[in-house]
Amino acid sequence: MSTTRVYMKKLGSFALMCLFLLAAGQTDALAVPASGPKDAVLIAAFGTSVEKARSSYAAIEKHVRLAFPDREIRWSWTAHSLLKTEKSRLSPQEALAKLATEGVKNVSVLSLHVIPGTEYNNLIRTARAFEGLPKGIRRITVSPPLLHDTESLKTVAEILVQSLPEKRKAGEAVVFVGHGTHHPAGVYYPALQHYLRGLDKNVFVGTVEDNLNLETVLGELKANSLRKAWIVPLMTVAGDHALNDLFGKEADSWKQTFIANGIQVETVARGLGENPALAGQWVEGLKNAQKKH
């Protein structure tokens, strides 16, 4: 074989290797120009004024760093009231505008929402508005919220049942309390309860607002003669709603109302992000969304 032919053959195998890498989805290394800014992951959370509750966000960020080691990671908060008081925080709009001016071309937005409600749909609208503007961000992918289809409902129900408080006994109720919404996506709460109760009949879902309210859940506990309940937030962080509406000292909190009705209460002040399997679900959702986009 002549030197030229050996060379040609080597070139051929290099081309094959490139094709293989492309086919395997390992396109990142090839697509990013060496000089340009890194692609980014923009995490979009509601935000919380409760310092301690941010441990849940920190836990999620660890998962993101592991899954996207080559990406620039940024945060944004959607709660307008918090953005007013915490000036250094950016809204998703502000964070995307900043990334655009920095010349970032690909942004993957990790939504830390639980259901596809108003907040999530606003985030989608924002992403669409910023995508493909002249000289702007070329591609913006948004991950689905934790609950978004039948499969995710079943998976999350399994994860929640596998990670119930260790000291909880079978005859004791566990009530996962989410935020609640008047948006049609509120149906995800009773849907999740359906799958949870299929796995453990004493596990319930409640919501602070609308949907499955305190009276509804209290009625369920009484109807099932349950005398003890574990209250666990079904929220990304165990922030203001958890500490006040659920566990607060006021007579109308979930804890005090249960106690007043003869139900013993244990509380778990932990956000969903502190459950590694759930954090993994969120991150996996972003990986899948990228493949589809």
Query: Which residues are catalytically annotated?
Result: 179
Please give the Cα distance from 96 to 276 (Å, whole number).
Answer: 28
- Residue 17 CA, distance from chain mean position: 36
DSSP 243: I
Beta-sheet strand order (sheet of 72-77): 72-77, 40-45, 106-111, 139-142
Q: How far apart (Å, rounded) are the C-alpha atoms in residues 73 and 286?
A: 13
Two structure tokens written together for 206:
């409640």
How far apart are the C-alpha atoms of 122 and 11, rounded to whole Å? Answer: 49
Enter the DSSP assignment of 242: I
Residues in the chain: 293
Name residue 47's amino acid. Answer: G
Closest by alpha carbon to 203, among 226, 173, 240, 225? 173
Distances in Å between the Cα of 190 and the Cα atoms of 60, 75, 228 are: 26, 31, 21
| d(C-alpha 89, C-alpha 235), whole Å | 20
